[in-house]
Chain A
Amino acid sequence: AQSVTQLDSHVSVSEGTPVLLRCNYSSSYSPSLFWYVQHPNKGLQLLLKYTSAATLVKGINGFEAEFKKSETSFHLTKPSAHMSDAAEYFCVVILSGGYQKVTFGTGTKLQVIP
């Protein structure tokens, strides 16, 4: 079975400080991992994806994530938060084989304080 755990339901940072949103997964197989962002009353937008080509993945808007197999983690980071980063972030896992089931984390709401 696979699962995704987003360790924090809410994260609050000050504008200009680093952002760390944590994601751990459990999977018996090599996964594909994704981060999505959802701004209020909007759909989900892809931030970045990991597909085994490189462990450090760069995404849009200055976000990046590092795949650490030994820790089964795929944490999302950004060096300096901007007010426009306030949103909800979802970590997503897809396994190979069969239907390629998509599993979502429960989301982390990021608050950016001016």
Chain B
Amino acid sequence: NAGVTQTPKFQVLKTGQSMTLQCAQDMNHEYMSWYRQDPGMGLRLIHYSVGAGITDQGEVPNGYNVSRSTTEDFPLRLLSAAPSQTSVYFCASRPTGFNQPQHFGDGTRLSIL
């Protein structure tokens, strides 16, 4: 039972490079989200999806793109990496129903030089 799987676990990029953070879940959850976690700021929502083919922006979407072609996968793309995007990124999924908790991946630690 894998749950939410994020790859890679660590990544170092140079300013201006692009990359994709992968997220996959095997629980058939409709809702998926990407967060970034920075010291003292809790988790901030980047983008979310309520089902395949449907995505929307969260609090801090600038510089990131997402797509959701299948229920299982929700990749996050950094278009042109900037040092301000150095952070820990978490993917989460949950079933529909407002009393359903989120399930989190183990995170991707991203450093932009």
Report which A residues bind B (CB closer than 8 A).
Answer: 9, 32, 34, 36, 42-46, 49, 51-52, 90, 92, 94-97, 99-100, 102, 104-107
Contact = CB atoms under 8 A, between A and B. Distances in A.
B40 A42 contact: no
Contact of B98 (A43, A95, A104, A106): A95
A66 B73 CA distance: 36
Contacts, number: 52
Interface of B: 4, 31, 33, 35, 40-43, 45, 48, 50, 56, 90, 92, 96-99, 101-107
Contacts of B101: 34, 46, 49
B99 A43 contact: no
30 contacts: A32-B99, A34-B101, A42-B107, A43-B4, A43-B90, A43-B104, A43-B105, A43-B106, A43-B107, A44-B43, A44-B104, A46-B101, A46-B102, A46-B103, A51-B99, A52-B99, A90-B42, A90-B43, A95-B98, A96-B98, A99-B48, A99-B56, A100-B97, A102-B45, A104-B42, A104-B43, A106-B40, A106-B41, A106-B42, A107-B42
Candidate in B92, B97, B102, B107 with the most chain A CB atoms within 10 angstroms: B102
B42 A32 contact: no
B77 to A, nearest CB: 21
A102 B97 CA distance: 12
Contacts of A42: 106-107
Nearest to A47: B101
Given A46-B101, A52-B99, 6 more contacts: A42-B107, A44-B90, A44-B102, A49-B99, A51-B99, A106-B42
